[in-house]
Structure 1
Amino acid sequence: MSISSALNNAMSGLTANARMTEVTSNNLSNVLTDGYAQRSVDLSPALLGGVNIDGINRFVDAGLLADRRLSDAALQGQDRSTSMLIRLEQSLGDAEDLASIGSRLAAFENALISASSDPASETRLNAVVSRLGDLTTTLQANTRTVQELRQEADAAIARDIEVLNTSLQQVEDMNADILRLKSTGNDPSSLIDARQQVVDQIAGIVPIRELPRDNGTIALMTTTGTTLVDGRRVEFEFTRTPTITADMTLASGALGAIMVDGEALDLATGIGRLDGGSLGAAFALRDGTLVDVQAGLDEIAVDLVARFEDPANDPTLTAGDLGLLTDEGGTLDLADTVGLAGRIGINAAVDPDVGGDVTLLRDGLNAVAAGPVGDSTQLNRWIEALDVSRNDLPGSALQSAAGRTASFTSQLGATRLAAEEQLSFTSARWDTLREAELANGVDTDLELQMLLRVEQAYAANARVIQTVDSMMQRLMEI
């Protein structure tokens, strides 16, 4: 080996040692950085002697990363659903809540019992109307709550679509930057780390798979096969609905669906193959879960209105007459029950706040003359009407008024509990995958050992250069 070859070998060794020192120190400094992947320097022997730096290698367990991202989608979706169900139950109240529908109904029934024990007392009759007003007000308030939560879900869809579009644009841009760096021989590892964090953000919105492409670029697809980015990104559109009422649905065209190039992805679901993650959860809440809750409230309202306009429970009524409860002043229309819980009200004939006569509770709603003040017959009919099992709405169960409200409250609690249990499972799975992912991160002990080895190699190469220098000086002296 010539002196010049020995010098070139040592110089290439020093260059490699310097690069390894840089990478190792970078690993140690980023040991707690989220999204950072451990690096190492790829070396190979040069054909003419010395060492070549082939590039920087990032250590990522692709399978584990993919599983964790799918878990991200499940966790984000389940967390959104559970959080909203908890808020819904807190607003509507459980069986122990004095402001719940069940408690309001029980208070109304107790007021009727109290009035029947002293039918002559207008104070007690007023209390009946007051408790009935509390019940209708609660149904109306619950309807507003459900629709407000639907509006929140709709707004969440709009936010997710905005974040999704922004993130997909960032992935497209970073793909181009990584390709440019690779083509010029520069290290794109930091940019790949940044891209991974953006992809993780997308993974919480929709479940995705990352597909490697040439020169460090990637494509993104949903688990159901919809392409998000492959060279160029897809642009999604969604129009938010600021105010949502009970009768507004996706099927009727009153609510927005996700659009691509001006066409809806899926008119039936609104989301198509983007289902899953926080985006899918928002659609399920807006168009499914909360719609079912509203249907339960409307079923209770139908049951109450039908009971109190039935001539069997008030002989002064005939078919088609207004009962004790109305649909915004009208009779019950079984063809128009959606949102009835928000429209239910007290018959003005017995409401003293609008000039009504509370004694009609005792005499009958259409009584033409006052009856005996001590007669509790009609009040007892109202009480009995609450206990009769009915199913006025087609497909509904045969239940008493209290039984129907109890079933509604119980079903709501069961849905919330099931969501919490699923969230607990999903969260535990995500924690396990995340811990496994972090375990594959930077090993500080190994990196410190590498620093010692690099230091030794650096010293050895420096010694070669020093020896060559001494030899050259000696030759010059001869």
Structure 2
Amino acid sequence: MTLGLALSNALSGLRATSRMAEVISANLANALTEGYGRRAVDLSAASLGGRGAGVRIDGISRGVDLALLADRRGAEALLESRKPLTAALKGLEGDWGVAGDSLADRIAALEGALVSASADPGSDIRLGAVLTRLEAVVSSLNEAGAAVQRRRAEADAAIAREVGEVNAALADLAALNTDIARALGRGEDTTALLDRRQVLVDRVARAVPVREMERPGGAIALVTPQGAVLLEGSGAARIGFDPAPVITASMTREGGRLSGLTLDGRPLGEGAGSLAGGSLAAQFDLRDRILPEQAAALDRVATDLLTRFAEADSTLPPGQPGLLTDAGGWPTGEPGLAGRLAVHAAVDPARGGALWRLRDGVGAAAPGPSGTADQIDAWIAELDAPRPLVPGARPASAAGHAADLAAGLSGARLTAEEAEGFAAARWSALREAELAGGVDSDAELQLLLRVEQAYAANARLIAAVDEMMARLLEI
């Protein structure tokens, strides 16, 4: 080996170790950066004329396990699809009242007020207490019905927000595909662009599960499991959605009053269509299925109460509302009865009615004997009578149906929490496995020590060659 070749080898070693120190410092600095892929310097032995010519830097590689990344994205999409349901059901539990002030508690308090009035039917104080308790029951159903529609409106707004974020991410990904292709063509390092692209794909995958497919020139395509193409090279699909400013119980997607999704102007069908599987589809499920089912359950309880009071009132002809009405009339079958339920004006002094009708019947034309409690007793008996909400269902009292309603909601919430917990555990395990393949600060520091030693050795070799050349010049 000539001294010149020895010096060249040492200089190439200095260049390589300097670049390795630079990459290690970047790894340590970005150990907690989301989407950062660990960098490594790719080296190979250089040769010249069949003889060793030091070390060659082939490039910088970005370490990412693509199979593990795809599994983690799928698990995260599943987890994000579980979270909205759990949050909505938990929120509804709070909206519908806590123990001690639930709908069932208020119906029980109404029954207690009726029993007290039956003992002294001539007392306006006791009849007034019945009216107060009845209004509390109606208020509970009104508030519960309004809460369901508010949650539907929140889901609709969340859909619009998710669509906006996904569209923005897809547009950025299309631009990154172009930037990466240009950088590769110029021989530039693209690892920082790849980090950014991974973060954006993660954002899309939380809302819509996607498969990442490599394309020539460093670009990628994103395709959903159902086959919808969201990204292809520099072209990004556009998801369309029209949010509703207000949502009422009668507004449904089937009726054309709520928007669905479009992809480049083409309707995607029921739910999220070919974009199903992530948080976007979960919000559609809430808005169009789960929350309307809860609203329908509320309406059945409201219908049961209204019907009980009407059928137990001997002063009313068939088909006329009793103590409770659908906004003043008989139910028409329109969804949202719980939100429209009202106390009959005939028994409310504030609206021109009279308390004595709570004793004598809503349809009574004149006060009856003040000591007669037959009508009050009939209402008590009707509230306690076991009746099914729908044909074939379990019979129960009015308070029993209200308790079953709350129990059904709690059961659905527990089931949702269990499903979310399983999805979270799976995502956490895959996330830990992904992080284990990322930047390990201990390993990086150990590698830095080795780089330091190699740098010192190459520097010492250069010093030795310098001394040898100086000695030759002295001869």
- What is the TM-score of this pair, normalised by structure 2? 0.93
| 1:84 aligned residue (74, 84, 88) | 88
Residues 308, 382 of structure 2: 8 Å contact kept = yes
Match of 2:198 in 1: 196
SS of 2:80's equivalent in the other structure is: helix
Displacement of 1:252 = 0.7
1:328-477 equivalent positions in 2, closer than 5 A: 328-333=327-332, 336-391=333-388, 397-470=394-467
Match of 2:326 in 1: 327
SS of 1:24's equivalent in the other structure is: helix
Is 2:280 the partner of 1:279? yes
Whole-Å Cα distance in 2 between the matches of residues 41 and 23 of structure 1? 7
Whole-Å Cα distance in 2 between the matches of residues 263 and 446 of structure 1? 51
In structure 2, relative to structure 1, the CA distance for the partners of 1:215 and 1:52 (3 Å cut) is farther
1:238-257 equivalent positions in 2, closer than 5 A: 238-257=241-260
The alignment of Structure 1 onto Structure 2 pairs a total of residues equal to 470
SS of 1:106's equivalent in the other structure is: helix
Whole-Å Cα distance in 2 between the matches of residues 85 and 454 of structure 1? 56
| 1:179 aligned residue (178, 181, 188) | 181
Is 2:172 the partner of 1:170? yes
Is 2:123 the partner of 1:121? yes
SS of 2:329's equivalent in the other structure is: coil
| 2:142 aligned residue (140, 143, 153) | 140
Displacement of 1:75 = 2.0
SS of 2:153's equivalent in the other structure is: helix
Match of 2:232 in 1: 230
Residues 95, 143 of structure 2: 8 Å contact kept = no
SS of 1:114's equivalent in the other structure is: helix
Match of 2:313 in 1: 314
Alignment deviations for residues 79-132 of structure 1 (CA, whole Å, 9 cap, x no partner): 2221221111011024x231x211111111111111111111122112212211
- What is the TM-score of this pair, normalised by structure 1? 0.92
Instruction: Give 1:259's aligned amino acid.
Output: T
Whole-Å Cα distance in 2 between the matches of residues 395 and 226 of structure 1? 43
Whole-Å Cα distance in 2 between the matches of residues 324 and 17 of structure 1? 88
Instruction: Give 2:58's aligned amino acid.
Output: D
Alignment deviations for residues 212-270 of structure 1 (CA, whole Å, 9 cap, x no partner): 3334332222233322212121111111111000010111111111112222211x22x
SS of 1:219's equivalent in the other structure is: strand
Residues 249, 335 of structure 2: 8 Å contact kept = yes
Whole-Å Cα distance in 2 between the matches of residues 40 and 163 of structure 1? 33
Q: Which moved more, 1:111-120 or 1:464-473?
A: 464-473
Match of 1:112 in 2: 114
Displacement of 1:193 = 1.4
Displacement of 1:447 = 2.2
Is 2:268 the partner of 1:265? yes
In structure 2, relative to structure 1, the CA distance for the partners of 1:34 and 1:369 (3 Å cut) is closer
SS of 1:57's equivalent in the other structure is: strand
Residues 40, 61 of structure 2: 8 Å contact kept = yes
Match of 1:39 in 2: 39
Displacement of 1:385 = 1.2
Q: Which moved more, 1:173-182 or 1:390-399?
A: 390-399
**Structure 1 runs not aligned, ≥5 long:** none
In structure 2, relative to structure 1, the CA distance for the partners of 1:215 and 1:449 (3 Å cut) is farther
Displacement of 1:381 = 0.6
Whole-Å Cα distance in 2 between the matches of residues 171 and 72 of structure 1? 20
SS of 1:58's equivalent in the other structure is: strand
Whole-Å Cα distance in 2 between the matches of residues 102 and 299 of structure 1? 14
Aligned-CA RMSD value = 2.1
Displacement of 1:163 = 0.7
Residues 306, 332 of structure 1: 8 Å contact kept = no
Whole-Å Cα distance in 1 between the matches of residues 246 and 448 of structure 2? 62
Instruction: Give 1:303's aligned amino acid.
Output: D
Displacement of 1:471 = 5.4
SS of 1:103's equivalent in the other structure is: helix
Alignment deviations for residues 278-321 of structure 1 (CA, whole Å, 9 cap, x no partner): 212211111111111110111011111111222xx222222233
Residues 92, 147 of structure 2: 8 Å contact kept = yes
Q: Which moved more, 1:235-244 or 1:224-233?
A: 224-233
Displacement of 1:456 = 3.3
Displacement of 1:477 = 6.0
SS of 1:210's equivalent in the other structure is: strand
Residues 81, 281 of structure 2: 8 Å contact kept = yes
Residues 298, 337 of structure 1: 8 Å contact kept = no
SS of 2:43's equivalent in the other structure is: strand
Residues 80, 206 of structure 2: 8 Å contact kept = yes
Displacement of 1:63 = 2.0
Whole-Å Cα distance in 2 between the matches of residues 13 and 158 of structure 1? 56
Alignment deviations for residues 50-96 of structure 1 (CA, whole Å, 9 cap, x no partner): 332211111112222222212221222222221221111011024x2
Residues 163, 239 of structure 2: 8 Å contact kept = yes
Alignment deviations for residues 164-205 of structure 1 (CA, whole Å, 9 cap, x no partner): 111111222222222222221221112211221222222222
Sequence identity percentage: 49
Residues 306, 321 of structure 2: 8 Å contact kept = no
Displacement of 1:464 = 4.4
In structure 2, relative to structure 1, the CA distance for the partners of 1:280 and 1:395 (3 Å cut) is farther
Whole-Å Cα distance in 1 between the matches of residues 238 and 284 of structure 2? 19
Whole-Å Cα distance in 1 between the matches of residues 205 and 392 of structure 2? 40
Instruction: Give 2:256's aligned amino acid.
Output: G
